[in-house]
Amino acid sequence: MSELPGIVVNGASGRMGQMLVRLVSENPACRLVGALERAGHDWIGRDIGTAMGGAELGVTVTDDALDAMSRAQAVIDFTAPAATVPLAEIAAQARAVHVIGTTGLDEDDIAKLDAAARHAVMVRAGNMSFGVNLLTKLTETVARALDVEFDIEIVEAHHKHKVDAPSGTALMLGEAAAEGRGVRLTDVADRGRDGITGAREEGHIGFSAIRGGDIVGEHDVIFAGPGERIILRHVATDRAIFARGAVKAALWGIGRKPGAYDMMDVLGL
């Protein structure tokens, strides 16, 4: 019988990293074969299970990505742009599926990821949950149906540790709204209003970010028209929804043609 696909988790000590270690090691369709952390991290050399305060998992935390990838068919990466971009090259060399949940990537980072995706499968999304990907579809449909009298505003709320704004999800929703409207998001995005901003410009898409406490992730897409408002909302209450999507994406990507994919491809939406 052939071995189950091996998966490495990057940023294994992080909020998402630990959730992924748990879900991958409990999933009967795959094996956890590596746990990566940056050089100098306290957990290097320790068993990932016991470092997380649980049972031993037989996987030692390492900073050697190339070695970890040599045993893997996929790597799941919810870290930071400075970690994700160099890992993409290593995943491409190893011909491993690279599932990227990291947000806050700039245009230059994305160009480097796209170059790596010429050699291996990459699945990247600002949100890996089924609910948000469905909301993204709905946002595009509603934006296409309404005219510019309806102002589009995207409001997101996250925990106090989040370092990037607008969230990756908010940007995904903004892209979908812009697509529905037939415009480029970069031409119409209003980010970070403050002071005497002037009246709202027709056709613009606004973003607002709330940060506080332990909010997992909440997104509203508001279509504010004359005399009525339509509000599409997603509320995440458990990070497992993102991790489950990421494991699904890793398994989906194995054996596929190299290229840049997203969760819409994985979910068939």
Ligand X SMILES: O=C(O)C1=N[C@H](C(=O)O)C[C@H](O)C1
Ligand Y SMILES: NC(=O)C1=CN([C@@H]2O[C@H](COP(=O)(O)OP(=O)(O)OC[C@H]3O[C@@H](n4cnc5c(N)ncnc54)[C@H](OP(=O)(O)O)[C@@H]3O)[C@@H](O)[C@H]2O)C=CC1
Q: What are phi and psi of 245, to 5 degrees?
A: -60, -40
Task: Tell me which of ligand X, ligand Y, none is bound by residue 204, counting a contact when its beta carbon lies within the kind-specific cut-off of 5 to 8 angstroms.
Answer: none
Given a contact cutoff of 8 angstroms between Cβ atoms, the answer to whether 16 and 10 are in contact is no
Q: Which two tokens stand for residue 171?
A: 């940007």
CB burial of 254-263 (b: ≥16 within 10 Å; e: otherwise) equals eeeebebbbb
- Closest of 17, 57, 16 to residue 37, by C-alpha: 17
Place of tokens 């390492």: 62
Which residues form the interface with ligand X (CB under 6 A)? 103, 126-127, 158, 162, 167-169, 217
Shortest distance (Å) from residue 266 CB to ligand Y: 12
Q: Which residues are catalytic?
A: 158, 162
3-state secondary structure (DSSP) of residue 249: helix
112 binds ligand Y (CB under 6 A): no
* Nearest distance from C-beta of residue 187 to ligand Y, angstroms: 25
Nearer Cβ to ligand Y (6/11): 11
DSSP helix/strand/coil, 247: helix
Pick the closer one to ligand Y by CB: 81 or 151.
Answer: 81
**Residue 14, annotated as binding a ligand:** yes
Of 157, 146, 154, 149, nearest in space to 185 by CA: 154
Question: Is the Cβ of residue 13 or residue 208 nearer to ligand Y in the bound state?
Answer: 13
Q: Which partner, ligand X, ligand Y, none, binds residue 158 by CB below 5 to 8 Å per kind?
A: ligand X
Nearer to ligand X, 69 or 85 (CB): 85
Q: Out of 29, 50, 58, 82, which residue is the one contacting ligand Y (CB under 6 A)?
A: 82
Which amino acids are annotated as binding site for (S)-2,3,4,5-tetrahydrodipicolinate, given as ranges?
A: 159, 168-169
